[in-house]
Amino acid sequence: MTKYSHEFRLSSVRKVLDGNSISGTAKELAIPKTVLQTWVNHYYEGGTEQLLHKNRKYSAEFKKEVIEYKWEHGLSLSQTIALFKIPNSAIFSVWEKKYLGEGFSGLLSKKKGRPGKMPKKKEIKPPDLTREQELEAEIAQLKMENAYLKKLNALVQARKKQEQVKK
């Protein structure tokens, strides 16, 4: 949710358009002057649609074009975000820092969130066995299961014997 409602933004911009100064209107409404200036710039560039923007996703190519356009034409930050209809100057500043630091790869979308704790297990496929080897492996498995069940049965019998002795 935004800090300021759409109606509040529109009424603030209309006060400035009616001839009031930006600083005077900002003081009257108790908002930062830079915020009101940004709203007015957005309104001049694209009207109410630009002022009442929605969250958008931008491609890495678009980000690169915007940054290079700003550099080539010597535009200010506020002029650039108004021209390209970017809702927040902080977004553009982050793009510019990443582009300077990491190049184009810094502008690519990255997976967000905390990584998982356990790596995914890779399935181990047994090597192709002959029919005889498969049968031997199955016999070995059955012998292990049989030994386990015998041991479990012996432990249960021993526990029953101890309980009878205690009574």
Each residue of 5-34: pLDDT tens digit?
878 888 888 888 888 888 888 888 888 888
Q: What's the mean pLDDT in 116-135?
A: 79
- Angle of helix 89-102 relative to helix 60-73, nearest 10 degrees, comes to 90
14 in the same domain as 73: yes
* Inter-residue contact 73 to 45 (CB < 8 Å): no
pTM, two decimals, is: 0.45
Range of the domain at 165: 131-167
Residue 153: inside a domain, yes or no? yes
Residue 118: inside a domain, yes or no? no
123 falls in which pLDDT band (50, 70, 90)? Answer: confident
Which positions ≥6 away from 36 have C-beta within 8 Å? Answer: 12, 13, 16, 22, 25, 26, 29
| Six token digits for residue 56 | 């958008």
Count the domains in the chain.
2
Residue 1: inside a domain, yes or no? no
103 in the same domain as 21: yes
Residue 113: inside a domain, yes or no? no
